[in-house]
Chains A and B, each alone.
Chain A
């Protein structure tokens, strides 16, 4: 069992105040699988990712990684546990007091025993991978939004973690860079057997990188299938999302409970960008 399931999420529930964000999510991810999670803004995709690395604790339900239940880990164990992960955040989440080089080197310094020279090489390699050269001495504030996102991506993959979590890695990037990032993700799961979970709004890249696509809606997984099958699903909500129609069952739900923003609302971290498949 352990070698067929890398991450097991079972009946996960999470609410912030009166706002129910995850309402019984269950999904398994196999080793070296690339899972893509799609869904409208505010459906709890980011919250789901944060449960996997233990940044948020579930109200009920379990998240198991390699057979270990995340919510049972103590403070020290969770630090050790997180070495497995690389995570790229929505807006990059770069440390703005550090240069690009320092940002990408950070996980290498904290999580590996690499020498300064090895770190130098690895940082350069990672920045080349996302086609960012000659920016290593710049501060994040001197970069464009897309560049920051790419640095965040480079930082997430730098220490070659077993599991990569990408929170909208390509939103707002030009199509060429998007294709480039997609290729890197594919390469990581093919060559390094990395397990990846990617959140995206971009259907084209979802079909490109996903071994399997899952759609999250109103705190539940409403559909999951390999890309080719996913395209043919009858569910009108899936079809509306794939084809980006303004009218349909998803639109009727907008303005529901997610308008009651509580103090933790921003922690859900969902951007209010409309879906543009």
Chain B
């Protein structure tokens, strides 16, 4: 029986994904620990993505307030805008949007960087110098991203809520005290945690997929281009699909 090319490609990708996951976990506890590289990657993934994540979450919070205010007003429930904005940001939007943005920014960079290293034989050179490329390149990137995404999301939560507050209070003249009260009235620790756990998983996924795409690059400059695109597309799809199941699982 002949398996169609695209299906074969899908299983190949899945196989590589799980193989890479296994290698990352197998290599993580082994010395030498490259703290400097981990830190460098944390700066690259986290610090450098901060402005764009903040901008996105700020405007998402603002739009949310704008939309919900208009709609909730129709049944005199505009006092719940604060709760709605805060819960949506914390439970869902901050994590997903940050994940997608970091996938586009850092995940693609990982795909391009490792892809270039592959086609210029730098990965072969690492292996010849008795250095496992997964240990040296993939492990710090994956953990840096897993650590930094929840931090970005925590920031995004705050900024998103602030955005909602600004729109409600400045534009719609809501009462600031009761808006803030509503914001935190129905929020539970679980809401916050589920968002942060999701963020960590998205961070892991996007870095692993970015690295995996780069690692298996072939075909010169064109191949690097393909890997970079695939890093973003596959990671984005993975984030969106896993988001559904994680939400179902987490609460």
A binds B: yes
Which of B116, B119, B120 neighbours the largest number of chain A CB atoms within 10 Å of its CB? B120
Which single residue of chain A is at the shortest CB-CB distance from B116?
A96
Of the listed stretches B91-99, B128-136, B142-150, B170-178, name the one at the interface; the rest are far from the partner chain: B128-136
User: What is the size, in residues, of chain A's interface with B at 8 Å between Cβ atoms?
Assistant: 28
Q: How many angstroms between the C-alpha atoms of A277 and B220 in the bound complex?
A: 27
The reply to whether A89 and B219 contact each other, CB–CB distance below 8 Å, is no
The reply to whether A89 and B131 contact each other, CB–CB distance below 8 Å, is no
A-B pairs, 10 with minimum CB distance: A93-B121, A93-B125, A89-B121, A87-B128, A82-B130, A107-B129, A79-B130, A93-B122, A266-B218, A266-B219
Which single residue of chain B is at the shortest CB-CB distance from A156?
B128
Distance to closest chain B CB from A22 (angstroms): 17
Q: How large is the interface on B (under 10, 10 to 19, 20 to 34, 35 or more residues)?
A: 10 to 19
Contacts between the two chains (Cβ within 8 Å), count: 58
- Say which residue of B122, B132, B219 sits within 8 Å of A94 (CB atoms): B122
Q: Which residues of A contact B219 (CB under 8 A)?
A: 263, 265-266
Q: Which residues of B contact A265 (CB under 8 A)?
A: 218-219
- Does A273 have its Cβ within 8 Å of any Cβ on chain B? no
Which single residue of chain A is at the shortest CB-CB distance from B223?
A266
Q: How many angstroms between the C-alpha atoms of A53 and B46 in the bound complex?
A: 38
Q: Which residues of A contact B125 (CB under 8 A)?
A: 87, 89, 93-95
- Say which residue of A75, A110, A264, A266 sits within 8 Å of B129 (CB atoms): A110
Distance to closest chain A CB from B97 (angstroms): 30
The reply to whether A264 and B218 contact each other, CB–CB distance below 8 Å, is yes
Q: Which residues of B contact A87 (CB under 8 A)?
A: 125, 128
- Does A91 have its Cβ within 8 Å of any Cβ on chain B? yes
- Does A174 have its Cβ within 8 Å of any Cβ on chain B? no
- Does B8 have its Cβ within 8 Å of any Cβ on chain A? no
- Say which residue of A80, A107, A263, A269 sits within 8 Å of B121 (CB atoms): A269
Give 15 pairs: A residue, B residue, CB < 8 Å, sorted on A.
A50-B124, A53-B127, A53-B128, A79-B132, A82-B127, A82-B128, A82-B129, A85-B128, A91-B121, A93-B122, A94-B122, A95-B126, A107-B129, A264-B218, A265-B219
- Does A90 have its Cβ within 8 Å of any Cβ on chain B? yes
In the complex, per-residue mask of A261-274: 1 if CB is within 8 Å of any chain B CB, else 0: 00111110100000
Instruction: Identify 6 new A-B residue pairs, CB closer than 8 A, beyond the known A93-B124, A263-B219.
Output: A89-B124, A91-B120, A91-B121, A96-B116, A263-B218, A266-B119
Q: How many angstroms between the C-alpha atoms of A269 and B129 in the bound complex?
A: 19
Which of B116, B130, B132 neighbours the largest number of chain A CB atoms within 10 Å of its CB? B130
Q: How many angstroms between the C-alpha atoms of A264 and B220 in the bound complex?
A: 11
- Does A207 have its Cβ within 8 Å of any Cβ on chain B? no
Q: How many angstroms between the C-alpha atoms of A79 and B129 in the bound complex?
A: 8
Residues in A101-118 with C-beta less than 8 Å from chain B:
106-107, 110-111
Which single residue of chain B is at the shortest CB-CB distance from A111?
B130
Q: How many angstroms between the C-alpha atoms of A93 and B117 in the bound complex?
A: 8
- Does A73 have its Cβ within 8 Å of any Cβ on chain B? no
- Does A83 have its Cβ within 8 Å of any Cβ on chain B? yes
In the complex, per-residue mask of B188-209: 1 if CB is within 8 Å of any chain A CB, else 0: 0000000000000000000000
Beyond A266-B218, A267-B218, whether A110 also contacts B121 by CB under 8 A is no
Q: How many angstroms between the C-alpha atoms of A264 and B122 in the bound complex?
A: 16
The reply to whether B128 and A80 contact each other, CB–CB distance below 8 Å, is no
Q: How many angstroms between the C-alpha atoms of A150 and B127 in the bound complex?
A: 20
Q: How many angstroms between the C-alpha atoms of A86 and B130 in the bound complex?
A: 10
- Say which residue of A50, A83, A263 sits within 8 Å of B130 (CB atoms): A83
Which of B122, B125, B126, B220 neighbours the largest number of chain A CB atoms within 10 Å of its CB? B125
